[in-house]
Amino acid sequence: MISIMVDKPTIKKDRLRGLGLISGGLDSLTACLLIKQQGIEVIGLNFKSPFCQYESRFDIFHEKLEIKIYCLSLGDDFLDIIRNPKFGYGRNLNPCVDCRIYILKKAKEFMKKIKADFIFTGEVLNQRPKSQHMKALKIVEKESGLEGKLLRPLSALHLKPTFYEEEGLIDRSKLMGIKGRSRKVQLDLAKEHGLLEEYFACGGCLLTDINFSNRMRDSLKFNNALKIGDMNILKYGRHFRFKNSKIIVGRNEIENNLLLQLKKPNDLIMEVQDVPGPITIIQDELNEEILKYAASLTLRYSDLEESKGKVVYGKDYQNLSKEIFSEIENDEILKKYILSFYILNIMELS
């Protein structure tokens, strides 16, 4: 009789190592706690993203749970997911199910590198309408190639046992059955173990924001060669799409400095000569008409008291050697080019 060998990983319980996906918030913190309480070594993995405005509390993970956290960055391939998500978008441009799959696939590769035995997350059943209902959790698990092997310690008791629970490597009776949006159980647990005194909001993802999504859609439409790093500049300044050109005007000194740091080598820099005002960045196409419009915007947001003035421009901020005289267009004309894409900025003009 021929016996068939089943390919099962051989894992020793006393040397089990879990890789936890860590946003830095309360859910991932308590998920790590539950795994650590079983005497299992935990390594953390955080994904850096230009879209995340997380206020992470990595200090608690380091200091109180003694967890080492590695950071990976989203790759340019994440933009393909935003362009064309297999499982669709949430309310705005957030492709949550595809995003989870993407991250877990990367975590799976990373798990091999650090010789971890399993992956766990701080996901909670029904906490998020788009990506954490039962069907979505199953899709994410299957599509990431982690079927039966993705542990969600906070909601485990509502889910089918994983391979690790079935094999007795992880004690299911010490996992939890949390579901829904309330964070009360997690907070109580964190308080009980001296990890936190009070809840802190972990921030959010810009892809769920309508105004940022509008900026993002515009960039995707006009630029096929986007890089993930190009997304950072979308967070700062007033954005205008004039013909095929993108014009970004700083709102204050901090944004002016950021725009100078984030601009690409071929972008043009413009400012009003001898008058305090914005840094303006001009991207993509360039011609006389675009320069004139950008100059008008730059003058409009400066401290200039007259209706016309001189701006200087160039690619090197230390050497803005070209100049152009322009008049400030009336706000009706300026609004026209914002209205097409950026609702937020209409308020700023008035």
Interface residues toward ligand SF4, by CB under 6 A: 52, 94-96, 99-100, 131, 205, 207-208
Residue appearing with tokens 């094999």: 167
- Do residues 81 and 34 make contact, with C-beta atoms less than 8 angstroms apart? no
Nearest-approach distance from CB 201 to ligand SF4, in angstroms? 14
Task: List Cα–Cα distances, 267 to 282, 313, 322, in angstroms.
Answer: 6, 11, 14
Nearest-approach distance from CB 93 to ligand SF4, in angstroms? 8
CA gap 350, 331 in Å, rounded: 9
Residue appearing with tokens 């675009």: 290
Structure tokens at 258: 């950021």
Nearest-approach distance from CB 223 to ligand SF4, in angstroms? 20
CA gap 291, 278 in Å, rounded: 15
Choose between 119 and 205: whose C-beta lies nearer to ligand SF4: 205
Choose between 38 and 92: whose C-beta lies nearer to ligand SF4: 92
- Do residues 32 and 162 make contact, with C-beta atoms less than 8 angstroms apart? no
Nearest-approach distance from CB 96 to ligand SF4, in angstroms? 3
Choose between 52 and 269: whose C-beta lies nearer to ligand SF4: 52
Nearest-approach distance from CB 21 to ligand SF4, in angstroms? 11
- Do residues 321 and 312 make contact, with C-beta atoms less than 8 angstroms apart? yes
Nearest-approach distance from CB 323 to ligand SF4, in angstroms? 43
Residue appearing with tokens 């059943």: 125
Choose between 150 and 282: whose C-beta lies nearer to ligand SF4: 150
Choose between 128 and 149: whose C-beta lies nearer to ligand SF4: 128
Q: Residues 6 or more apart from 42 whose CB is under 8 A from it?
A: 17, 18, 19, 20, 32, 35, 36, 65, 67
Choose between 196 and 207: whose C-beta lies nearer to ligand SF4: 207
